[in-house]
Amino acid sequence: MTTFHSDSLGVKPVQRARIGDGQDVGKIAAVGANRHADNQLRHRWRRRLARTILLATAVILALAMAGAGYELALPSVANAPARVAAILSAHGGELAGLPLPTKLAEAIVSVEDEHFYSNILVNVADGAGRAAVATLKRSGDPGGSTIEQQLAKQLYPHRPGLAGTLSEIGLGVKLALTYSKPRILAMYLNAIYYGNGYWGEEAAALGYFGVKPSQLTWAEAAMLAGLPQAPSAYDPLRHLALAKQRQGHVLDQLVVNHLLTARQAYIAYRAPLPLRSAGQ
């Protein structure tokens, strides 16, 4: 199509660009086809994503319902304080209450469960993973689970293997949802065995060092905190060298968790331990 414009020199023909040849039409058709294919691909991807999300949601809900059912099938933890008192009564121990002995509590948490004060989901996930690894390795190390799980194992009948691990985790969750962190830690400090016939923090602090738990030094608290993992192996009255190694590990964990400086930990490690003979 030709049009004419006039200027000072006269009339000149101007040729306008046209879309007319077969090649251009083919390009446009190809672009349209590609867009259609892309739209179809996006539509399929969105449908697939929606199905995946629905399936994942269904699985999560099913697991949650199964977990809730399992939790309901487990025994109540309302009697946990009474069970702690019964353990101490059976072994001639004395029940210690709140407030917690600061140094011993911080040493125990640092070496046994450094995520104790974390969000319950973080704490349970971490403890479940460690407990599962300990179960697969057939390890008897109580440090392989959370403090709540260890308390559950101490207070309630324990089954071996995976069933026992699942029971510990479930009861640990119940304890975490029922009691405050200080209350759980107080029960744990009272219910565990420190060796040489000493059950609970009161008996252990008095038996080994002749003081109340609140009067323990960092050196003494770190020594006691290292005992529950293996009371016989780390017995400071019979195996002082091994007990000192364990004490050093507890002090290192206190440094890692920013509760002591390296200098303070070194001083505590070098401090003399006024250990008393059993029954003294």
Where residue 186 falls among pLDDT bands split at 50, 70, 90? very high
Q: How far apart are CA 147 and CA 280, in angstroms?
A: 31
Let me know if 81 is exposed, middle or buried by CB neighbors in 10 A (0-12, 13-18, 19+): middle
Instruction: Give the 3-state secondary structure of the chain.
Output: CEEEEEECCEEEEEECCCCCCHHHHHHHHHHHHHHHHHHHHHHHHHHHHHHHHHHHHHHHHHHHHHHHHHHHHCCCCCCHHHHHHHHHHHCCCCCCCCCCCHHHHHHHHHHHCCCCCCCHHHHHHHHHHHHHHHHHCCCCCHHHCCHHHHHHHHHCCCCCHHHHHHHHHHHHHHHHHHCCHHHHHHHHHHHCECCCCCECHHHHHHHHHCCCHHHCCHHHHHHHHCCCCCCCCCCCCCCHHHHHHHHHHHHHHHHHCCCCCHHHHHHHHHCCCCCCCCCC
Largest CA distance in the chain: 127
Residue 273 has pLDDT above 90, yes or no: yes
Q: Which pLDDT does position 41 carry in this prediction?
A: 74
Residue 37 has pLDDT above 80, yes or no: no
Share of residues in the chain with pLDDT > 90 (%): 54
Rounded average pLDDT over 245-259? 98
Q: Which pLDDT does position 63 carry in this prediction?
A: 45
Residue 30 has pLDDT above 80, yes or no: no
The mean predicted confidence, pLDDT, of the chain is: 81
47-95 residue pLDDT tens: 777 667 855 554 454 444 444 545 557 889 999 999 999 999 999 989 9
Where residue 126 falls among pLDDT bands split at 50, 70, 90? low
Task: Identify the CA nearest to 190 among candidates 228, 156, 157.
Answer: 228
Q: Which pLDDT does position 86 carry in this prediction?
A: 97
Q: Which is more confident, 130 or 69?
A: 130
The answer for residues whose C-beta is within 8 angstroms of residue 223's C-beta and 6 or more apart is 208, 236, 243, 246, 247, 250, 273
92-116 residue pLDDT tens: 989 998 999 999 999 999 999 998 9
Residue 169 has pLDDT above 60, yes or no: yes
Residue 190 has pLDDT above 80, yes or no: yes
Bridge partners for 10 per DSSP? 7
Q: Which of 56-65, 252-261, 267-276 has the lowest mean pLDDT?
A: 56-65
216-243 residue pLDDT tens: 999 999 999 999 999 999 999 999 999 9
